[in-house]
Amino acid sequence: MRIHTFDKILFLGMLFVGVSCAHRLKMTDLVPYSGVHPTLVPVVARFNAFAAQHIKGYCQPAIDVGFADLDNMEVKEPGDKHAIGLCVPSFLNPVRSRPAIYVDKDYWDNASEMSRESTIFHEMGHCVLNLEHNDQDVVIKGEKIKKSLMAPVEFGGYRYLANYQYYVDELFSETKLTGEDFQKECAHGKD
Ligand SMILES: [Zn+2]
């Protein structure tokens, strides 16, 4: 079974050291994308709407969100894992000094609407809310589920849908950033 996993270039950066692998993803392998890809605009807009509900004064910082082929990113763990999303922080972005999100195109074409949203929200969690992975579990309605959309492995759109409000609230409750931080970022990041 193919397991979908998210990844962060920061983590990959650590793995670059002292390890050589022909299939290692390099920054130069990523096709630069400017702005939000039209296909992804509705999902990013939903994230922004939720963010505005949860964070007073929120505005979307400048960010690039596009597709890439992430198939070569099987670098982190043994087994048949496959990266579906990636957040490149601004200081590692070779194109411009703002964060970039990449979603694997093959994954996107075959994923459910909810799975797609959970992936974009996860990467926005990294790149916009400055969140790290959270692999904890929680019991809700008698079922053990992942505590957060920031779980390092995608847990399925149906689980996301079944606990939708919980996961959205959880995501935005974890950020340390305030509306003031976003206001500053937005004023600074205009280009
Ligand atoms: Zn992640």
Which residues pair with residue 137 across a beta bridge?
Answer: 146
**DSSP element (H, E) containing 15:** helix 9-16
What distance in Å separates the CA atoms of residue 35 and residue 61, rounded to the nearest whole number? 11
**DSSP element (H, E) containing 88:** strand 81-88
167: tokens are 């996961």
Task: With cut-offs at 50, 70 and 90, classify the pLDDT of residue 93.
Answer: low
Q: Is residue 101 part of a domain?
A: yes
Q: Is residue 189 part of a domain?
A: no
Q: In the chain, what percentage of residues exceed pLDDT 70? A: 73
Distance from the CA of 124 to the center of ligand 1, in angstroms?
Answer: 9
Distance from the CA of 83 to the center of ligand 1, in angstroms?
Answer: 10
Residue 121 has pLDDT above 60, yes or no: yes
Distance from the CA of 143 to the center of ligand 1, in angstroms?
Answer: 23
**DSSP element (H, E) containing 121:** helix 113-127
Distance from the CA of 115 to the center of ligand 1, in angstroms?
Answer: 14
Q: Is residue 75 part of a domain?
A: yes
Domain count along the chain: 1
Q: What is the DSSP letter of 40?
A: G
50: tokens are 């939720």
Residue ranges making up the domain that contains 91: 3-183
Distance from the CA of 16 to the center of ligand 1, in angstroms?
Answer: 18
Task: Name the phi and psi angles at 135, rounded to 5.
Answer: -100, 15
Distance from the CA of 153 to the center of ligand 1, in angstroms?
Answer: 8
Distance from the CA of 171 to the center of ligand 1, in angstroms?
Answer: 13
Q: Is residue 191 part of a domain?
A: no
Q: Is residue 31 part of a domain?
A: yes
In the prediction, which pLDDT does 104 show?
87
Q: Is residue 82 part of a domain?
A: yes
What distance in Å separates the CA atoms of residue 87 and residue 95, rounded to the nearest whole number? 14
Average confidence (pLDDT) over 13-27: 36
Q: In the Cβ-directed half-sphere of 46, how many Cα atoms lie within 13 Å?
A: 14
Quote the pTM value: 0.83
Average confidence (pLDDT) over 127-155: 92
